[in-house]
């Protein structure tokens, strides 16, 4: 996979995650339940920060990019996957629906796969060693 394609897919992951959290926030603002236990603003901000971590990849600093993606694996692997999985079955009440639960995990599994590709260097292109 080309680095540019990988980065665009990672942007798509961030957009999906931010979108999930925006919709969760709108649900709360209209008197409904948040989609998950993650506070919508915290989730949205963390994914925005993640998107900023892609900048080194876009400008050719693949070494820095890969280190940042390794940190992302830890943060989003735990907070976005493990934490949600630990809520099954007893903690499902913190989700607005089973769909919201599965989306929370699915979006983050998609991102995790992309981050593993990034960390392992399984992409073509890049530039500066930094």
pLDDT at residue 16 above 90? yes
Collapse the DSSP code of 95 into the 3-class scheme (helix H, G, I; strand E, B; otherwise coil) and give the result.
coil
Phi and psi dihedrals of 70, rounded to 5? -65, -40
End-to-end CA distance of the chain: 21
Chain centroid to CA 56: how far? 17
Q: Is 115 exposed, middle or buried (0-12, 13-18, 19+ CB in 10 A)?
A: buried
* 126 — pLDDT class (breaks 50, 70, 90): confident
Q: What is the pTM of this model?
A: 0.94
> Tens digit of pLDDT for each residue in 17-40?
999 999 999 999 999 999 999 999
Beta bridge partners of 124: 2
DSSP secondary structure letter of residue 124: B
Residues 30-54: what's their mean pLDDT? Answer: 97
Where exactly are the structural domains of the chain? Answer: 3-120
> Tens digit of pLDDT for each residue in 65-117?
999 999 999 999 999 999 999 999 999 999 999 999 999 999 999 999 999 99
């Amino acid at each position: 996979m080309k680095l540019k394609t990988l980065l665009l897919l990672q942007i798509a992951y961030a957009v999906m995650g931010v979108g999930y959290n925006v919709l969760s926030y709108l649900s709360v603002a209209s008197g409904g339940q948040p989609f998950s236990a993650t506070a919508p603003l915290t989730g949205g901000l963390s994914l925005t920060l993640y998107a900023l971590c892609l900048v080194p990849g876009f400008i050719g600093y693949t070494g820095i990019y890969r280190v940042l993606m390794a940190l992302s694996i830890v943060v989003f692997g735990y907070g976005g996957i493990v934490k949600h999985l630990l809520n099954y079955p007893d903690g499902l009440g913190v989700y607005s629906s089973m769909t919201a639960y599965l989306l929370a995990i699915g979006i983050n599994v998609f991102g995790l796969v992309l981050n593993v590709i990034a960390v392992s260097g399984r992409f073509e292109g890049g530039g500066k060693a930094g």
